[in-house]
A and B are shown apart, each in its own frame.
Chain A
Amino acid sequence: QKEVEQNSGPLSVPEGAIASLNCTYSDRGSQSFFWYRQYSGKSPELIMSIYSNGDKEDGRFTAQLNKASQYVSLLIRDSQPSDSATYLCAVDMGSNYKLTFGKGTLLTVNP
């Protein structure tokens, strides 16, 4: 069964720190990877997409992909209380463009 695993947390970091969120996936042939942020009671919002090994930076966010290790991560620099949310890792495993979601990591940034 194709799976995406995330640590459910909660992950608690102080304001201004770096938050590191991790995700592993089971399908070695996966090509597209996405990070979504979901505030409580709201729908998911796309933060980052990554398709190639290495790092991809967008503002305070950096996505990292290692296909050999089947591992994708999201770093949030200078974390803010407004970053407090559940972060969902999603992987396109090649089945009619469906995304397989992890269960999400709850991040809390403390002022």
Chain B
Amino acid sequence: GAVVSQHPSWVICKSGTSVKIECRSLDFQATTMFWYRQFPKQSLMLMATSNEGSKATYEQGVEKDKFLINHASLTLSTLTVTSAHPEDSSFYICSARVGGSSNQPQHFGDGTRLSIL
């Protein structure tokens, strides 16, 4: 149980393109989803917390107009990197948790490797 699917796995695109990444909880309802970014040999960096039906909460230093997050249902959150540039190239990972209890862990998707040329 607690499977999180993330799509696509790899994206290579030109500078200036917008890229959408989907994160789905397949066998549970996720009231809260999280988006992380990880650069090579560095730790996870939380970008934003996404609650179903409300605006995402962004961490300090993360541009909300550049990284658009939508959490329209209890099983789907999307991250759109708008007008991507080479410095946005990174490993983006979503996670989701089952709602209702503070003891629930986060379950991670497989991640999306984004390369901007």
Contacts A88-B44, A103-B43, A104-B43; is A98 near B109 (CB within 8 Å)? no
Which B residues lie within 8 Å of A98 (CB)? 34, 46, 49
Query: How many Å lie between the Cα of A60 and that of B48 in the bound state?
Result: 34
Q: Does A55 contact B (CB under 8 A)?
A: no
Q: Is the CB of A34 within 8 A of B34?
A: no
Q: Is the CB of A43 within 8 A of B102?
A: no
Query: How many Å lie between the Cα of A45 and that of B44 in the bound state?
Result: 13
Of B44, B97, B104, most A-chain CB atoms within 10 Å: B44
Which A residues lie within 8 Å of B44 (CB)? 44, 88, 101
Of A31, A45, A103, the residue contacting B108 (CB under 8 A) is A45
Of A31, A43, A92, A96, the residue contacting B111 (CB under 8 A) is A43
**Chain A 23-60 interface 0/1 with B at a Cβ cutoff of 8 Å (1 = within):** 00000000110101000001111100101000000000
**Chain A 1-37 interface 0/1 with B at a Cβ cutoff of 8 Å (1 = within):** 0000000000000000000000000000001101010
Contacts A88-B44, A101-B43, A101-B44; is A43 near B109 (CB within 8 Å)? yes
**Chain A 83-111 interface 0/1 with B at a Cβ cutoff of 8 Å (1 = within):** 00000101010101111011110000000
Q: Is the CB of B102 within 8 A of A96?
A: no
Query: How many Å lie between the Cα of A32 and that of B43 in the bound state?
Result: 20
Which B residues lie within 8 Å of A94 (CB)? 102
A8's nearest neighbour on chain B, judged by CB, is: B43
B binding-site residues for A, Cβ under 8 Å: 6, 32, 34, 43-44, 46, 49, 51, 57, 93, 97, 102-111
A binding-site residues for B, Cβ under 8 Å: 31-32, 34, 36, 42-46, 49, 51, 88, 90, 92, 94, 96-99, 101-104
7 shortest interchain CB distances as A-B pairs: A43-B111, A103-B43, A43-B108, A43-B93, A44-B108, A34-B105, A101-B44
12 pairs from A and B in contact (CB 8 Å cutoff): A31-B102, A32-B102, A32-B103, A43-B6, A43-B109, A44-B93, A46-B106, A46-B108, A49-B105, A98-B34, A99-B34, A101-B43
